Structure formats: C-alpha cells, structure tokens
Structure 1
C-alpha cells in the first residue's frame, strides 16, 4: 500500500521521504522486512538516496532495535510509512519536548489521555529511547508487543518515563481517520490528499480538518472505518 501511486505518480513512501527530507536533516532510515515482497520499498529508498534496513518480518520490535544498533542510534523517531498526512510541525514539537524531558517515550495524547498511536489520526510520530526498546525485548516475548513496537512502553507507565503532550483541541472537532488499513481508506485518503494539495501544496492538519468539515461523505466513510478498525 505504501508503494502504489497515491498522488500523481508518487507513492506514499515517495511523499513521506520527500517531506521529511525537506523539513529535517536527521539521519533517515526505512526499516522494512527481509520478505522479497518488500524489495520495491528498498528500490524506492534507493531512488531517494535513503538507507533501507532489512530485518525480521514478524518481530518488528527486534527489527527496530537491530536497525538502531546498526547505525548507532540511541534515540529513534518512529514514523509509520502508511501515514501520508504526517504533520511536520507536530513532529518538531515532539522532538523539542523530548530533548528537554529526559523521557523514555514522547508523543501526544487525546483529552482522554489516550496515546495518539492508539488513535486513527495518522498525523503523529513518536519518539523513543533505544534503551527502552531493548528493555521491552528483555521483558516480554508476547507477540502483541513484538509487532506493535511501542505498545509495551505506554501501557507500562510504571516502568518507563512517558511524556505525553496534549493534542490541540481542534483535532477533536471531527472524527477523522487518516490512517491506512483498507481499500476504502486508500480511496478516501487519495481523494482527500489531492484536495489538500489543491488548496495548499504545503497544507497542514488544520487544512485537512477544514476540508473534512465541509465533506460529509468522506467523514461518513471515515466513521465506518473507525468502527471497523477500532484500536
């Protein structure tokens, strides 16, 4: 899903790599699996001159730890490659907050204290210390935690120092879903992305919400998908 043409001839991975490179100068690595079906991901990375790390397909946590060890990273900004609406301003806020907090994990949370990685927003990254990921590997072999890299950390606040920032209230004005799991998601997000770029090539999340407020059809589909893929 991240390698198919999403906007014009560009895939979601193309869009994300270009956007991140435009706004940040941090080392950028795409961590994918050794499965041959992911060879196209590596090809796209090479076309952007971005490093592609190949690792364990099912133990995603180990893949992240191995990747961080390989490049001697001590802190990881984790981005889901199927989030075309990733917001660079929110990413900068997370980075700034993490640098001053000495936390193990930094991201945003909803007004109900739900970490945004558990929501359907699809505009946030998360920042985590490698030592925390290694601790998870040592503490558990439960598949849930090996597949969902940071889940163990934010569900065990007694073991880790969490820094969860409150999301801006305007994000909760509409029930939007900008994450991608299904064909229905793909079709709606593809249309929405084109609408946003038409409005402003450098659109923000506020632009997305403004457009969605005027589009009952897309919101209805999103609501159906939120119920179908409740996290």
Structure 2
C-alpha cells in the first residue's frame, strides 16, 4: 500500500513573531486554522497532518489540530527530520509533502499538480521551478525512503535534520529530482507571502481582505492578479521582501 501524506510542520516558537501561526488572519480564524481548512482535501493526497514539537507552548497547536479534526504528531523541536519520519511511520506514508505553517495561502491545486507530476515522473523529490511561484506558496514532495536514507547517513548534519530537505536541494545529482513549471501568470518570485514579522502579518491580512472585497477566490492565480492590479500592495510586499 502506498500513501501520500501532507505534513504541516508547525510550532509556536519564532524569534521575531512568537506564536505567529496562532494569530488571526480574519475574525477568529488563525493562520494555521485557515491553512488546515484550505488543505484538508488536496486531490491525490490521502491525509493532511500536523507535525509539531513536544514543547509545552505547542500544546496550543495540538488543541487547534483537534478542533480542526486533523491528526497531530509531536516530536523533537530541533530535529524536524525525525518528526517527518515519525509521521511516516504512524501514517504508513510512502510519500510526504512538506508544508511550512508560516503562510496561510498554500494552494491545494498547486500542491496537487506537484504530487501528480512527482508520480508521473517517478521522482524522489519534486518542487516548483525556481521563480515560478510567489514565496510562501510553494511545497515540496519527497519519498519517505529518501528521508530515511538521509536520517541514517552518519554524514547528515544538525542543519540537515533541522531543514529536512536542504540536503537534497544541495545534492540534487544524488536523487531523481523533478521541477514543476507553472504558467507565466504565476511567475512572481518577487512576492513573499510568508509571515515572519508583524508587518508580514498585516500584509497577508490585507491580501485576504482585498481578495474577498473583490469577490475573488483565494488562490495563486488571483493573488498574482491582485499584485499586478494593486501597485501599492505590491510595492509594500516587495519592499518587505527586499
């Protein structure tokens, strides 16, 4: 049996904006809750889970996951790779999708396209092509067997374990890798919709409110279209990213 599981790696610890993933995007809906609701039914994905830490502060993440009806797994704060393998063991996942929790606008259609191409090309690691999507809207697909290989390698560093896929990205020649291309309209690498500071939080709130005010869906295409039409918002975002 093969299973594909999407993993949101989430913790409340943050140097510049502690607890950011529990901050409200709108009304009483937090960034993490919004992301969970968007990604719970991704085509081609068997399950969405959250991988958090054993730190007491992350009890709040566990409670959120329960409220959203999503399984949550707790592991090492520093060794994120071990958290992913914990998820793989518990869910019998042969393929994992790595999703960070600091951007609420991950697009299920983008992830589904990455998963479909990953399978079609028999890849071990798949990601969007460089420059083909705004930052904060990307996802990575990786075979569990590759992560086990990295975990068991004596040469694997603390940095490799913290960042999960960085070893693969720095040694692409060692793996069957595939990059997914997206239409020209989505190629806005100057836009960064990840949240790391209070200003970033204000930006994603503004983007969400503006999309709703226009009656547009919150997807990658309409986010990019909004950036093209709203010069002020585009300028604010690119200034923050620079």
Same fold (TM over 0.5): yes
Is contact 1:2-1:82 (8 Å) kept? yes
* TM-score normalised by structure 2 residue count: 0.84
Map of 1:74 onto structure 2:
94
Is 1:126 equivalent to 2:140 in the alignment?
A: yes
Q: How many residues align?
A: 221
* TM-score normalised by structure 1 residue count: 0.88
* Deviation string, structure 1 residues 107-160 (Cα, Å, up to 9, x no partner): 21125xxxx7xx862112211100111112223332321111111112211211
Map of 2:124 onto structure 1:
104
Is 1:220 equivalent to 2:240 in the alignment?
A: no
Q: Map 1:3-152 to 2 at 5 A.
A: 3-24=22-43, 26-110=46-130, 121-139=135-153, 140-152=155-167
Map of 2:21 onto structure 1:
2
Q: Which runs of 5+ in 1 are unaligned?
A: none
Is contact 2:42-2:109 (8 Å) kept? no
Q: What SS does structure 2 have at the residue aligned with 1:57?
A: coil
Q: What SS does structure 2 have at the residue aligned with 1:73?
A: coil
In 2: Cα distance, 1:198 partner to 1:23 partner = 26
